[in-house]
Amino acid sequence: MSTPPRIAALFDKLLENKGSDLHLSIGHPPLGRIRGQLTPLREALLTQQELEAMLFELTSPEQKRQITEELDLDFAYSFGTKARFRANYFYKTTGVAAVFRTIPSKVLSLTELNAPEVVRKLAERRSGLVLVTGPTGSGKSTTLAGMIHHINHTRPAHILTIEDPVEFVHESAKSQVTHREVGIHASSFATAIRSAGREDPNVILIGELRTNETMKLALQLASFGVLVMATVHTNSAPATIDRIINSFPAEEQPQVRGMLAEGLAGIVAQQLIRTADGKGRVAALEILIGTSAIASMIREGKVFQIASKMQASQNLGMQTLDMHLEKLVAANTITPEAALEKAQDKEAFAKLLQRLKPEFEVPESALGEPGGSH
């Protein structure tokens, strides 16, 4: 039997504590992100010699060349049958460092994720653009994997994923699933998306829309009768629309607005919040559905009106983040403090908390007191 890699003991400890990330840097103990908090996994600090031996044992000569020349490396690593990790190697002032993000080996279904019915409906769309947004580590990939899992188990379709690196591996069930990794199977996201149109897909998952070129290609595919799912790093649904439009030069914006108004199926913006019992984390979701009313706001450049339209369209499954936070506080799933920290309109939310939980002391800074507003 082959000897386990030097890093195995740390991976085991992380998994045993149900941690999500492993942070390694010279001069610090190995840290695990456990229930959202960074926690040392041992007392001894990592030396340069130990860390380099640990990290370069996992890479191919080609990957080692990339990190030493380009100073940055992303890849997926399988830790036997126990787990897969998304690895990122980089250099900082103290030398080489790395972060390993756990990719659960089991893809959770939408039911297991407690996803609202509207998310299932988005996955059942036959065309359009579905965006899942939120900060790093907010569970975007997990939600998308749940949606792909739903399609894979409910209808015969060709699902194509374009990722860097491939995170969740789906075994073909009712659908045929093709995974393509940027860097290995295609030179860039744009190249892979361009050739995707010729691969007869029904559903395309794009790891991340980073450039306006990939955004435009995704919008085109969505208008050709393909369901396109992708992630964007933004904190709310209206901000996502602004981000996409503003990534284009002014003269192209009217055309992009038109394409987005036409092609947008929905946006799910999520944040992960520690549960009140401290045992886990729960996703708070903001949900926008591409209705004709929303489409005309996008076309006319009235994105600022979208939030109030979302509040008024609960019957369609829409909700703002603050509406979901209110439900989570009312159900005692999360604490008022945690909700207020994530709320978008802190002042309005603080007033709402005073009605909902009269015993909760709202910090002055949230009420927009002089000197305390942010």
At residue 269, the pLDDT reads 96
CA distances from 98 to 71, 116, 184, 214, 231 (A): 11, 35, 21, 28, 23
Question: Are 81 and 158 within one domain?
Answer: no
pLDDT in tens, the chain (374 residues): 578 899 999 999 999 998 989 999 999 999 999 988 899 999 999 999 999 999 999 999 999 998 989 888 998 898 887 888 999 999 999 899 999 998 877 888 999 998 999 999 999 999 999 999 998 888 899 999 999 999 999 999 999 999 988 888 898 999 999 999 888 888 899 999 999 988 899 999 998 888 999 999 999 999 889 999 999 989 899 999 999 999 999 999 999 999 999 999 999 999 999 999 988 889 999 999 999 999 999 999 999 999 999 999 999 999 999 999 999 999 999 999 999 999 999 999 999 998 888 888 877 776 654 433 33
Question: Are 158 and 306 within one domain?
Answer: yes
Query: Quick one: which of 150, 70, 78 has its CA closest to 107?
Result: 150
Tokens at residue 214, please?
């990939």
Question: Are 313 and 294 within one domain?
Answer: yes
Count of domains forming the chain: 3
Instruction: Tell me the CATH number at 145.
Output: 3.40.50.300
The answer as to whether 150 is a domain residue is yes
Q: Count Cβ neighbours within 10 Å for each residue of 160-182 and write b for 16 or more, e otherwise.
A: bbbbbbbbbebeeeebebbbbbb
How far apart CA 191 and CA 180 sit, in angstroms, is 11
Question: Are 45 and 153 within one domain?
Answer: no
Q: Would you list the DSSP string of 9-50?
A: HHHHHHHHTT-SEEEEETTS--EEEETTEEEES-SSPPPHHH
- Full residue range of the structural domain in which residue 18 is found: 8-103
Question: Are 88 and 53 within one domain?
Answer: yes
Residue 147: CB atoms within 10 A of its CB come to 25
CB pairs under 8 A, 24+ apart, for 360-369? 360/336, 366/340
Q: Which of 76, 103, 130 is the last residue of a domain?
A: 103
Question: Are 267 and 359 within one domain?
Answer: no
Ranges of beta strands (E only) in the chain are 21-25, 31-34, 37-40, 72-79, 83-92, 95-103, 128-133, 158-163, 176-181, 203-206, 227-232, 264-274, 281-289
Q: Write down the number of H helices and E strands in the chain.
A: 14, 13
The answer as to whether 109 is a domain residue is no
At residue 372, the pLDDT reads 37
pLDDT tens for 11-26 read: 999 999 989 899 999 9
The answer as to whether 111 is a domain residue is no
At residue 222, the pLDDT reads 93
The answer as to whether 1 is a domain residue is no
Question: Are 300 and 153 within one domain?
Answer: yes
Q: 119 near 110, Cβ under 8 Å?
A: yes
Instruction: Tell me the CATH number at 87.
Output: 3.30.450.90
The answer as to whether 188 is a domain residue is yes
Question: Are 63 and 135 within one domain?
Answer: no
At residue 193, the pLDDT reads 92
Question: Are 309 and 345 within one domain?
Answer: no
Q: 20 near 83, Cβ under 8 Å?
A: no
The answer as to whether 236 is a domain residue is yes
